Structure 1
């Protein structure tokens, strides 16, 4: 571990232990460095790194503060990392697998928690998808918003942020599917109709099954498309 990494870890420990709770102001740089037994340069580098990670916020002319530490803030960098992962077709398939593992369970949980207002929001995006069947980009925007509204209904911000980072970045794959597959919109719409019907009935088991079928359909299409394009995934057992 480098000296900078050690400095970062020491400040993290102050946050984890509650010495520096969310929203609190850090001591001035000389005092912080002395408190941690570090040089001012190391303390400054550690603060910069933690600001990038959204653990700290540097307010020019005011000082440095611990952020709210909300999941949506701390996991903000996930979507950017996932965007880069899409360069590798194999990594894109990995992301599809992650979505298949998480989204059906999240949809089942949403069925037990969704409010009438939440259900109305999901239905609004479903109706927009119906109206945009011939507009691939608009259709896919509401496709993504439909899933976001479903997961948001769980009230679990960490789960929402994780799935936004993963499935939100597969939007490009869904747009591609809509471009090359004329039947994709009809199939996707049918899948979403089934998910909404299960949600409306607050049927968790049916929600999970409908969501699993939907994400599995998308994943299977992606696998076939990549293979036909010459991107065959290596089998670890080979």
Structure 2
């Protein structure tokens, strides 16, 4: 095993065991390296790697701390990874979103607090008929963010946020090139909202599936994939 991987594993073990709690400060570099039987160089490399994935937070002049380890922090890099991929690879992320988002929507229909359901409806009502494409995209993102949060599952919510945000480019592209795309999106949002507000999880799941599949199907056609509709 490479020494850096060994160092990462030992720090991870300290966190998993509870020896290092979220928000805790790591011991001084020399002390920690000696304690773990590592060279200071391999310890530095491990700290650097763990800081990149938001497990550790290196504060210049202060020290190195364990982050909150909350899902939204640890999964923040997911959106960055999606952004690095080409549209053809983004399809795989859309496939994952098609699996997860309907589940989250059904959960929201069961457990989303009434006041949050009302606020979700206000998101739709606040969208002006002559809204710009930027406003439409912002409204779309906010609608889906609230649905995910309404599931009550913070890990699922963070995963969906990472998958949803980086697909903005495809949403803009579709809005600019497909006739009626904006109207269809708003109609489907309304249908999803009504199913959630009516506490009908199976219907909410079905509408969310239709909604996310529409973007995936369109992108496949735009990329000219075999068997997909033409762009």
TM-score category of the 2 structures, normalised to the smaller one? over 0.9
Q: Residue 65 of structure 1 aligns to a residue in which SS?
A: strand
Q: For structure 1, which runs of at least 5 residues remain unmatched after alignment? A: none
Q: Residue 126 of structure 2 aligns to a residue in which SS?
A: helix
Contact 2:33 2:43 in 1 (8 A): yes
RMSD: 1.6
| Number of matched pairs | 227
Q: Residue 111 of structure 1 aligns to a residue in which SS?
A: helix
Once the two structures are TM-superposed, the CA of residue 184 in structure 1 deviates from its matched residue by 0.6
Contact 1:132 1:139 in 2 (8 A): no
Structure 1 position 145 matched with structure 2 position 160:
no
Structure 1 position 103 matched with structure 2 position 101:
yes
Counterpart in the other structure of 2:17: 17
Once the two structures are TM-superposed, the CA of residue 128 in structure 1 deviates from its matched residue by 3.1
Once the two structures are TM-superposed, the CA of residue 211 in structure 1 deviates from its matched residue by 0.7
Contact 1:133 1:185 in 2 (8 A): no
Superposed, 1:207-218 pairs within 5 Å as 207-218=204-215
* Separation (CA, whole Å) in 2 of partners of 1:134 and 1:29: 54
The structure-2 alpha-carbon separation of the partners of 1:169 and 1:233, relative to structure 1 and needing over 3 Å to count, comes to: farther
Once the two structures are TM-superposed, the CA of residue 133 in structure 1 deviates from its matched residue by 5.2
Counterpart in the other structure of 1:191: 188
Q: For structure 2, which runs of at least 5 residues remain unmatched after alignment? A: none
Counterpart in the other structure of 1:58: 58
For normalisation by structure 1, the TM-score amounts to: 0.90
Q: Residue 69 of structure 1 aligns to a residue in which SS?
A: coil
- 1:44-68 CA-partner distances (Å, limit 9, x unpaired): 2211221222111222333222111
* Separation (CA, whole Å) in 1 of partners of 2:11 and 2:202: 44
Once the two structures are TM-superposed, the CA of residue 134 in structure 1 deviates from its matched residue by 4.8
* Separation (CA, whole Å) in 2 of partners of 1:33 and 1:92: 41
Q: 2:119 aligns with which of 118, 121, 125?
A: 121
Contact 1:93 1:222 in 2 (8 A): yes
- 1:174-231 CA-partner distances (Å, limit 9, x unpaired): 111110112111111111110010011111111101111111122211211211xxxx
Q: Residue 69 of structure 2 aligns to a residue in which SS?
A: coil
Q: Residue 64 of structure 1 aligns to a residue in which SS?
A: strand
Deviates more, 1:41-50 or 1:171-180: 41-50
Contact 1:199 1:207 in 2 (8 A): yes
Superposed, 1:149-164 pairs within 5 Å as 149-164=146-161
For normalisation by structure 2, the TM-score amounts to: 0.93
